[in-house]
């Protein structure tokens, strides 16, 4: 039987697995990703890529191509709730409400101040091939599709203190081979690795059954707003929002009303007598959207999934670690599934690189769980809140399942020029405002902070967080994401995140005297440290006072940032022995 040795084996060739493969390649770590499917996904599925993910992509040279292929800001300004797309009845094509989303519309200025990166929309069926191509470019032979992880065993013996022996089946040839790796990463959506480990998933399951239909068709005659990314429909003759549906444009080249393809989302109600399939889905779409018989879309794929909100109690099992959907699965509210998976990969990659290079102990990987598991748990909790809030729209209008006549009268009242209509619209406006929990979760995207892990706490408290996650408060408190500040060098603008390079630590300070301390600390710890001196005589000028406003240190202080742009340590004032303080901080963060 053929045998392969590689430092890291990744089970799963989806967004998370391919993303981790790319990041590891950038750190000089050899890995092998195996995926049981023959090709990348043929369904759009996840599609919105948020600010934090684009920051990661920018750091690793992926953002430009993602932006080139994805939706421009003008095509994802709003989320819109309507009664129908077509039709000419008195309740057809009526607006229920709009929400600005993902940095569009009224959110633009605030989001732009907090990051150099904007969100975009690129369906997974377009993103995965891009990630696969990049992974192969940066590490030829690092991905194997139609190869399935059959079993694995880990041990603590052998060279380098143990590892994992995995059995892989090549479905093209039918042959099996073994892979010996130091670590195995389960990025397979929980299909194989987590189950074999007996990983305990906490949270509710089987809450709803959803059906997504990917189709090609021309909807431009019925669309009047090119800035809407997602339409949600509540048909007055239907049974309310969850028996309604949604529509997402998926390009791939046009991102306005002329989008070549779309995804139609609909819940299969508990009392629904029919299974939605290729034979009736077009009829269902026409009925809900009020479209004529002349609309004949090409159905390309139907996907079914159950709504759940679960998170793994543990992310680490010895030399096996879980990431992405293998660790957390939840409703797509706020589009935090795939984005959180990329955050997992970003956190894990730099730690694996140091451990595998012998520059940090295996114990550093414990911090992956202590940092990312609380993020996954919070995201799952948040998404469930948002999922449940959708029903408030039904309730505010006065809808009830199966009550067609009463529901139609409720809509007639809503749009009537009567005191009751005015009250109904005011109540609906309140319910619509709560729906911002989905597309305006700015603080959930970039404001999460690690309390325990590869960092040195300084005893300060996080500022109060917006319980609706709309407002992000930038801080340099250890564990937090480095605040974005626009600096200048030689007449050109540059952001603080652009100064943090893959695989390197960065010390932000206001005095050049920290350079010698960083060199001494690097010698003592073996960690490479870039120094960014900000000030009139420094490397970068704080022309608009952005850094001074956000850094939360005195003129003699410093902020040490990890390769994943999270703060590891800060000294608000100049320590008596800067080199020793900096070296001690690195040792503590890395558990040296």
Q: What is the pLDDT of residues 203-225, one digit of tens each?
A: 998 888 888 999 999 999 999 99
Q: What is the pLDDT of residues 395-450, one digit of tens each?
A: 999 988 778 888 999 999 999 999 999 999 999 999 999 999 999 999 999 999 99
Q: What is the pTM of this model?
A: 0.96
Longest dimension (CA), the chain: 80
Task: Kindly tell me the burial class for residue 140, based on how many C-beta atoms sit within 10 Å of its own C-beta (0-12, 13-18, 19 or more).
Answer: exposed
List 151's β-bridge partners, or say none.
167
Q: What percent of the chain has pLDDT over 90?
A: 85
Domain 2-46+123-203+313-384 has CATH 3.40.50.300: no
What span, in angstroms and rounded, lies between the C-alpha atoms of 263 and 273? Answer: 23
Q: What is the pLDDT of residues 135-169, one digit of tens each?
A: 999 999 999 999 999 999 999 865 557 999 999 99
What span, in angstroms and rounded, lies between the C-alpha atoms of 277 and 301? Answer: 10
Overall residue count recorded for the chain in this entry: 592
User: Across residues 264-275, what is the average pLDDT?
Assistant: 70
Q: Where are the domains of the chain?
A: 2-46+123-203+313-384, 73-120+208-306+390-448, 457-590
pLDDT band at 114 (very low <50, low <70, confident <90, very high): very high
pLDDT at 63: 98
pLDDT at 271: 58
Q: What is the pLDDT of residues 467-500, one digit of tens each?
A: 999 999 999 999 999 999 999 999 899 999 999 9
Q: Could you say which DSSP state residue 166 is in? A: E
What span, in angstroms and rounded, lies between the C-alpha atoms of 23 and 69? Answer: 21
What rounded mean pLDDT belongs to the chain?
Answer: 94
Q: Could you say which DSSP state residue 393 is in? A: H
Q: What tokens appear for 55 in the block? A: 């920051």
Strands of the sheet containing 310-312, edge to edge, are 201-202, 310-312, 328-329
What span, in angstroms and rounded, lies between the C-alpha atoms of 364 and 498? Answer: 25
Please name the residues in contact with 388: beta carbons below 8 A apart, sequence gap of 6 or more: none
Higher-confidence residue of 126 and 160: namely 126
What span, in angstroms and rounded, lies between the C-alpha atoms of 565 and 502? Answer: 9
pLDDT at 317: 97
Q: Is 426 strand, coil or helix?
A: helix
Q: What tokens appear for 106 in the block? A: 């009224």
CATH number for the domain formed by residue range(s) 457-590: 3.40.30.120
pLDDT at 464: 87
Q: Cβ distance 477 to 463 under 8 Å? A: no
Average the pLDDT over each of 75-79, 268-272, 479-483 and give the range with the smallest value. 268-272
Q: Is 435 strand, coil or helix?
A: helix
Residue 288 sits at φ, ψ, to 5 deg, of -70, -45
Residue 542 has pLDDT above 90, yes or no: yes
Residue 66 has pLDDT above 70, yes or no: yes
pLDDT at 269: 63
User: Across residues 562-586, what is the average pLDDT?
Assistant: 97
Q: Is 302 strand, coil or helix?
A: strand
Residue 128 has pLDDT above 90, yes or no: yes
Which CATH homologous superfamily contains domain 73-120+208-306+390-448?
Answer: D-Amino Acid Oxidase, subunit A, domain 2 (3.30.9.10)
Residue 248 has pLDDT above 90, yes or no: yes
The reply to whether omega before 252 is within 30° of 0 (cis) is: yes
pLDDT band at 242 (very low <50, low <70, confident <90, very high): very low
């Amino acid at each position: 039987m053929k045998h392969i040795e590689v430092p890291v084996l990744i089970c799963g060739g989806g967004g998370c697995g391919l993303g981790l493969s790319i990041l590891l390649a950038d750190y000089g770590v050899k890995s092998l990703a195996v995926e049981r499917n023959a090709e990348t996904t043929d369904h759009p599925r996840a599609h919105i890529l948020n600010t934090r993910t684009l920051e990661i992509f920018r750091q690793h040279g992926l953002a430009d191509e993602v932006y080139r292929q994805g939706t421009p800001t003008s095509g994802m300004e709003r989320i819109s709730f309507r009664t129908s797309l077509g039709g000419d009845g008195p309740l057809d094509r009526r607006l229920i409400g709009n929400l600005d989303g993902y940095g569009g519309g009224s959110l633009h200025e605030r989001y732009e101040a907090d990051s150099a990166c904007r969100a975009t929309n690129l369906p997974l069926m377009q993103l995965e091939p891009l990630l696969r191509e990049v992974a192969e470019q940066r590490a030829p032979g690092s991905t194997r599709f139609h190869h399935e992880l059959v079993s694995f065993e880990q041990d603590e013996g052998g060279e380098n203190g143990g590892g994992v022996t995995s059995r892989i089946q090549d479905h093209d040839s039918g042959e099996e081979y073994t892979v010996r790796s130091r670590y195995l990463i389960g990025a397979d959506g929980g299909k194989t690795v987590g189950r074999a480990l007996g990983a305990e998933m906490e949270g509710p399951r089987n809450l709803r059954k959803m059906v997504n239909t990917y189709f090609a068709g021309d909807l431009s005659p019925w669309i009047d707003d090119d800035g809407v990314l997602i339409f949600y429909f509540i048909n007055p003759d239907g049974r309310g929002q969850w028996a309604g549906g949604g529509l997402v444009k998926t390009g791939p080249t046009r991102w306005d009303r002329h989008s070549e393809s779309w995804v139609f989302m609909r819940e299969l109600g508990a009392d629904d007598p029919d299974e939605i399939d290729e034979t009736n889905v077009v009829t269902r779409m026409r009925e809900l959207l009020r479209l004529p018989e002349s609309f004949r879309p090409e159905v390309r794929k139907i996907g079914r999934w159950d709504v759940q909100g679960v998170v793994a109690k543990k992310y680490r099992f010895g030399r096996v670690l879980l990431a992405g959907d293998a660790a957390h699965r939840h409703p797509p509210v706020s589009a935090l599934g795939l984005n959180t998976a990329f955050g997992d990969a970003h956190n894990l990659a730099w730690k694996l690189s140091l451990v595998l290079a012998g520059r940090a102990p295996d114990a550093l990987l414990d911090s992956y769980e202590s940092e990312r598991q609380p993020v996954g748990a919070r995201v799952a909790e948040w998404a469930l809140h948002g999922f449940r809030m959708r029903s408030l729209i039904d309730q505010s209008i006065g809808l009830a399942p199966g009550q067609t006549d009463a529901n139609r009268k409720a809509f007639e009242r809503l749009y009537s020029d009567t005191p009751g209509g005015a009250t109904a619209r005011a109540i609906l406006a309140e319910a619509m405002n709560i729906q911002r929990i989905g597309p305006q979760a700015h603080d959930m995207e970039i404001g999460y902070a690690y309390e325990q892990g590869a960092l040195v706490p300084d005893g300060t408290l996080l500022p109060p967080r917006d319980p609706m996650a709309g407002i992000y408060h930038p801080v340099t408190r250890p564990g937090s994401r480095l605040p974005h500040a626009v600096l200048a060098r030689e007449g050109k603008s540059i952001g603080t995140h652009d100064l943090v390079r893959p695989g390197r630590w960065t010390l932000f300070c206001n005095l050049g005297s920290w350079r010698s301390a960083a060199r001494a600390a690097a010698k003592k710890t073996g960690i490479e440290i870039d120094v960014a001196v900000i000030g009139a005589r420094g490397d970068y000028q704080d022309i608009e006072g952005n850094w001074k406003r956000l850094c939360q240190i005195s003129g003699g202080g410093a902020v040490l940032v990890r390769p994943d742009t999270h703060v590891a340590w800060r000294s608000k004032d100049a320590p008596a022995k800067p080199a020793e303080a900096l070296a001690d901080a690195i040792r503590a963060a890395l558990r040296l």
